[in-house]
Amino acid sequence: MHQEIKFEIIGRDADSRARAGVLHTARGVVETPVFMPVGTAGTVKAISQEQLERLGAQIILANTYHLYLRPGHEVVRQMGGLHRFMSWPRAVLTDSGGYQVMSLKGLGRVTEDGVSFRSHLDGSAHFLSPELAVDIQNALGSDIMMTLDECVEYPASHETLHRAVKLTGRWARRSKEHWARYQESGIRNQELGEEERAAPHSTVDSGPLIPNSQSLIPALFGIVQGGTDKGLRRESAEEIIEVGFDGYAIGGLSVGEPKSETYEVTDYTAALLPADRPRYLMGVGTPEDLVECVARGIDMFDCVMPTRNARNGTAFTSQGKLVVKNAAYAKDESPLDPACECSVCRRYTRAYLRHLFLAHEMLGAMLTTSHNLYFYLDTLRKIRQAILSGGFQEYRSRIRAGP
Amino acid sequence: MHQEIKFEIIGRDADSRARAGVLHTARGVVETPVFMPVGTAGTVKAISQEQLERLGAQIILANTYHLYLRPGHEVVRQMGGLHRFMSWPRAVLTDSGGYQVMSLKGLGRVTEDGVSFRSHLDGSAHFLSPELAVDIQNALGSDIMMTLDECVEYPASHETLHRAVKLTGRWARRSKEHWARYQESGIRNQELGEEERAAPHSTVDSGPLIPNSQSLIPALFGIVQGGTDKGLRRESAEEIIEVGFDGYAIGGLSVGEPKSETYEVTDYTAALLPADRPRYLMGVGTPEDLVECVARGIDMFDCVMPTRNARNGTAFTSQGKLVVKNAAYAKDESPLDPACECSVCRRYTRAYLRHLFLAHEMLGAMLTTSHNLYFYLDTLRKIRQAILSGGFQEYRSRIRAGP
């Protein structure tokens, strides 16, 4: 019934759990380990889809919660799905919305059924269940859907973490069962009739608008919770694996715990997950974190850091973070990173970028976003290449040693 | 002594003063009539230099006042001039700063010597004279410098306008004389020694940073004032022509007067200006205004409209203005302009652009800016082609008839 996502492992590091793979999605191939730029509201902030393609992004993340509220998943469905709506031909992973709802604090209430919450936009009342999260992601036309989970802040009591683990487990089962009903009925992505689904809606005569891809089956990933408690991580992993998913995510990290704990829990949890399925570490992290977590067996990452920091004027470089507004760069004709080959570093100086930020000009955020995403995507490409060529430990040592 | 800018007229419309030309600047050829995107602070807002090149912009406008205050013209000079600082290889016209100082209202005071004003950024006290305006523009490495003028708001008394015309005339003479001293002394763009000027400062090993071009002589344009008073326009034009400049601008229009007056004064004033020199109408206007003012003999335009309106979510199209936020476009899969061949119209829908603006996403401003500039630049290309092929009156009638 359930067509499994195809994930091939094509190379391994001999001295760690690092591996290189190919994830076949409904919209093309994703080479792992991979970094997914965050496109919360159907746009990766301050960069265009053309530029993302040029940077080599193979998959981006979009947010169920945000798109449900605005423009609404029914609008996106009617526009032919998210790929067509935003004109992005490659893969999209949709976050389930659980993390956002949890971070709303006073605006949300968790029950067995799901989450009641008020919109951060207009205060309107909403309810999100594991089933609805699947419905929404299906309407969006996601390539990789995430189950609704309960993400808990750090620090949390054992009782709170345990309750979240059990609820996440029950929700995972409900998500899987609901998704199975879609597949049994043959309804996918759209509730439209077959003819409508086959015909592009566009009134545009020319150009590469994105066709619907309803013939392909999205993947559904489960999420392991349990905070920094290894016993709970094991309990959660066993439950989620028992339900069975196309891939497995480690949630509830990078929520305030010390970095050593992030690494340790990632190490511990990744080892519990099926070796033949992609492992996704949610919301992590710095370039160094990516290398360290690849070594612990992670295949997929997302993080707002490269894009958010860019808008604040912080660049990631081979020499570490660079706060481009600093007075030291007022007359610095170097590029953001002299070792970087991206289009921004080939053309613009630190002095100019600093001026743009001080003058509150959008181009500052645009160029730094482009550079930071290049840096992240390029880091993952280098990691992958190092794994395939047997040089991963050397690469890791170099990154660990720092600039 | 004074090397004149080369301006060739290569075609004329038989039934109007419209003409097509080629303006040879220190940084390449500008085909006229031309629209100059406004890059106030050394960046055309929400678009990169690569994109401007791709759109075919041959010349952009930058602002003396803004760059003097931030990052400071000495910083720009030390960075090798504005072209190199912002990595823009093509021509730059610099506005003199008079308009900005005038529009500061209570923050500025005009005397015979120049303008005392306080910075809108930090309240610090500054003084701008006709000579300093030349010094600054020279430090910036402008290709076309504008003389400092006194721009008067609409409506204004005859006395106020007359005073501004006379002051503008005296300042024009001082500007010309000051610029002549530069040329006599052989000092251009930089105050650095010859060796330093010849060597690029960049620490960048590769890539197309912009070389200095100190061997080329910038042009200096005079500005005609006089509001909507034809007698004063004639008086101003005669004075400015008597001083003698490489090109002539009509200032003080598009400041609140009725459009019929804009056209009439443009018509009247353009006819007074030397036929063999470029004529630049400052701060005008809509696409229709451009066609009408080309017919009246104008060769060069600048206006913030395409970029500013874009950031507010208004697109210029072959069917008129389109306010993309309108609810009518929530599910509209058409591009901004179905008749447009720009990269934005080939890829993105109105529905998506509306979503971006409602979600306050930068990509909305970025894409609409790109489209609007394409529309303006393309309109001027079509006007020029129509003049050269004898079809200008037909083109003008079509634009006049409206969508």
Is the Cβ pair A333, B47 closer than 8 Å? no
pLDDT at B189: 57
- From the list A315, A313, A322, A302, the residue with the least C-alpha distance to A342 is A315
Of A43, A203, A330, the CB nearest to B356: A43
* Ranges in chain B, pLDDT < 70: 1-4, 105, 187-216
A4 pLDDT band (50/70/90 cuts)? low
Of A206, A351, A367, the CB nearest to B48: A367
CA distance B184 to chain A (A): 31
Give the type of residue at B287: P
C-alpha atoms less than 13 angstroms from C-alpha of B17 in its C-beta half-sphere: 20
Q: What is the distance between the alpha carbons of residues B83 and A153, in angstroms, rounded to a whole number?
A: 50
Measured at the CA of B181, the angle between CA B177 and CA B184, to 5 degrees, comes to 130
Is the Cβ pair A204, B338 closer than 8 Å? yes
Contacts of B78 in chain A (CB under 8 A): 331
For the cut 60, the answer to whether the pLDDT of residue A2 exceeds it is no
Of A48, A351, A362, the CB nearest to B85: A351
Of A45, A75, A201, the CB nearest to B361: A45
CA distance B246 to chain A (A): 31
What is the count of residue pairs from A and B with beta carbons less than 8 Å apart? Answer: 154
Per-residue pLDDT of A243-286, as tens digits, reads 999 999 999 999 999 999 999 999 999 999 999 999 999 999 99
For the cut 70, the answer to whether the pLDDT of residue A200 exceeds it is no
Give the type of residue at A112: E
Q: What is the distance between the alpha carbons of residues A22 and A7, in angstroms, rounded to a whole number?
A: 6
A11 pLDDT band (50/70/90 cuts)? very high
pLDDT at A97: 83
Active site residues of A: 95, 302
Q: Which residue of A has its CA nearest to B51?
A: A51
Q: Label the pairing between strands B108-110 and B115-118.
A: antiparallel
For the cut 80, the answer to whether the pLDDT of residue A189 exceeds it is no
**How high does pLDDT run on average in chain A?**
91
For the cut 90, the answer to whether the pLDDT of residue A195 exceeds it is no
Is the Cβ pair B330, A75 closer than 8 Å? yes
pLDDT at A204: 32
The CA distances from residue B133 to A73, B165, B245, B263, in Å, are 55, 18, 16, 29
Q: What is the distance between the alpha carbons of residues A373 and A114, in angstroms, rounded to a whole number?
A: 35
Contact B143, B218 (CB under 8 A): yes
pLDDT at A188: 62
pLDDT at A112: 96
Contacts of A70 in chain B (CB under 8 A): 355, 358-359
CA distance B352 to chain A (A): 6
Query: DSSP letter at A336?
Result: S
- From the list A355, A304, A346, A367, the residue with the least C-alpha distance to A326 is A355
pLDDT at A201: 34
Q: Which residue of A has its CA nearest to B88?
A: A347
Is the Cβ pair B204, A338 closer than 8 Å? yes
Q: Which residue of B has its CA nearest to A361?
A: B45
CA distance B23 to chain A (A): 27
| Interface-testing mutation among A84, A366, A367, with chain B (most B C-beta atoms within 10 A) | A366
pLDDT at B2: 45
pLDDT at A26: 85
Contacts of B357 in chain A (CB under 8 A): none
pLDDT at A99: 81
What is the average per-residue pLDDT within A328-346?
98
pLDDT at A186: 74
pLDDT at A3: 54
pLDDT at B188: 62
Burial bucket for residue A379 (CB in 10 Å: 0-12, 13-18, 19+): buried
CA distance B56 to chain A (A): 18
Return the percentage of chain A with pLDDT > 90, whole number: 84
Is the Cβ pair A85, B355 closer than 8 Å? yes
| Interface-testing mutation among A79, A212, A350, with chain B (most B C-beta atoms within 10 A) | A79
Burial bucket for residue A230 (CB in 10 Å: 0-12, 13-18, 19+): middle
pLDDT at B77: 96
Q: What is the distance between the alpha carbons of residues B311 and B368, in angstroms, rounded to a whole number?
A: 7
Contact A282, A250 (CB under 8 A): yes
A98 pLDDT band (50/70/90 cuts)? confident
Which residues fall within 8 angstroms of residue A66, CB to CB, at 6 or more apart?
Answer: A40, A41, A100, B359
* B95 flagged as catalytic: yes
pLDDT at B165: 97
Per-residue pLDDT of A82-91, as tens digits, reads 999 999 999 9
Of A87, A203, A345, the CB nearest to B352: A87
Q: Is the peptide bond before A37 cis (omega within 30 degrees of 0)?
A: no
For the cut 70, the answer to whether the pLDDT of residue A202 exceeds it is no
